[in-house]
Each structure stands twice: as C-alpha cells, then as structure tokens.
Amino acid sequence: MPEGHTIHALAGRVQDAFAGTPVRFSSPQGRFAESAAALDGACVESAEAHGKHLAIHVEGEQVVHVHLGLFGRFGVRQHRRVDRGEPPTDLPVAGQVRMRMVNRTHVGDLRGPIVCELVTPTEWREVRAGLGADPLRDDRLPDAVRDRLARTRRAIGAVLMDQSLVAGVGNVYRAELLHRHELDPHTPARDVPAGVVTAIWDDLVRLMPLGVRTGRILVSDSDVERAEALIAKGGTGRVRPHYAVYRRHGKPCPRCGETVVKETMAGRNLFRCPGCQR
C-alpha cells in the first residue's frame, strides 16, 4: 500500500495538472458514472492529502475522496491533443478506469481504488477528523495524540501503523525508524520514553518530505546526505535506498550482526533485529 509521502506527491501532481481548469470527468468502467456526470466540466480548485487519503476539491462544494488501498493506481500524464482548445473526449482507455480526468493538457486515470466517492466538504472534514496526525502536515506531534500514545498498552509497532493515530506511516518507515531508535516493536506504546516518541516523530517530519521530493523512502543518514547533495546540484535526489531491517530477514543486522527476523503484527509483515532492538 502506498505510504503517505506517495499520496502527498500524487496530490501535488493532480494540483499542478488540473487546478484552475475545467475538467472532463468520466468513468469508463462505469462504477463512478453518476458522480462523474455531476462533476463533468467543473473546475478543479485544489488537491490535498492527509495520510493515505486524497481529496480533489471541485467547484460547487464537491470533493472527490480517494483511497488507493493495496492495488489502486492513479496515473497523471500529459496528452498531445491540445490544439482543439478544449479537453479531448476520444483519448484511448486502457484497463479498468474507475475515474478519468481530462483537461486541455493532461489526463488522469484512476484504477482499482478501495475508495472513490463524491462527498461534501463537511464529509471530507469528517474523514480527516478520524485520521491521526500526519507528519507531512504537522511539524509537532499534537498533544492529544501524544496523550493517547502514553495511555495505550498496544505495541508501538502496531500503533505506528494505526492510521487513526499516525496517518501516512507504512511498513518501511515503521521498520526502519524502530530499528534506528533501537526499539523493540513489541514494546507497549505507553512504555516508550517521551523523548523517543518525539525523536521518532521528528525523524518522520524530516524524512517524509524527502520521500515526496524524490519518490524514494530514504532513512539512512548516508542515503539522505547523498539525496540532499544531488538536489542541491539540481538533481532529482533519487538514490537507491539502503535499509537496515526492512525485507532483510535472514541477513545480519548492520549494527550488531544478529540475524534480522520477519514476523507478523496487526496483519502486516514486521522486520526487526532481536539483537539490538531490545
């Protein structure tokens, strides 16, 4: 499932491609047909992300709420039919496209989301209210979330993946940051020192914008330094990431040499080092 930085990057692409322009909405697959008809021809105002949820704001107090889930894809690209002065209606369709957006310059095709619905701004605010703090929106961990973490007996490894507490964090950031801070994923969240909670949050606030910029989940200091150096020179910063534990089960931990293990926690694969994550 795409992590939060991927959805924030997608929101940026939708914003750049469609905001401020009239858009032809359609549903070649048919499952979004009624809502697409209501939107067709309206101007897109903006796009935003909160955690793994995308919202496309359209004139007339309309919001397209999207959650890609495990298999969803939303491709945004330029098309070449800009000479007609209006969005083309005959661009070829490949695959099962739930929602298509077309303006004079771009086409966006949404396939396989678990959520694609037309809602009101109030309903979108209700969705957001049920989501946790987003490191790409909140520089500081809200006190309400910190208090909930301090009270829960649930394992910190499960809590970090709970989108109602921390929105946008996925398996890679969880595995690598818990290893970075030498924290056993099974530790009850209330037993994690407040300073460690703050340090993990600060890491997310620092690293996830780099993920938006590069399209890569970069965690190690060396990867981050190389990416930032490339960006400073005008490059993309897309370096090949190196991980300490994520998908490295059966291999030695680069810090202590103990064999990295893979387990299951809250229905997701969990990677950790039993040697130094104590």
Active-site amino acid positions: 2-3, 52, 268
CA atoms of 216 and 235, how far apart (whole Å): 14
Report yes or no: 139 and 205 within 8 Å, Cβ to Cβ: yes
Residue 64's nearest CA partner among 86, 96, 32 is: 32
For the beta carbon of residue 216, count every other beta carbon within 10 angstroms. 17
Residue type present at position 269: N
Enumerate the H helices of the chain as residue ranges.
Answer: 4-18, 33-39, 121-129, 143-151, 156-159, 171-180, 194-214, 221-232
Q: How far, CA to CA in Å, does 103 sit from each of 15, 85, 204, 233? A: 12, 10, 35, 34
Report yes or no: 138 and 152 within 8 Å, Cβ to Cβ: no
- Angle between helix axes 194-214 and 4-18 (nearest 10 degrees) is 40
CA atoms of 165 and 134, how far apart (whole Å): 9
Residue 97's nearest CA partner among 70, 76, 125 is: 76
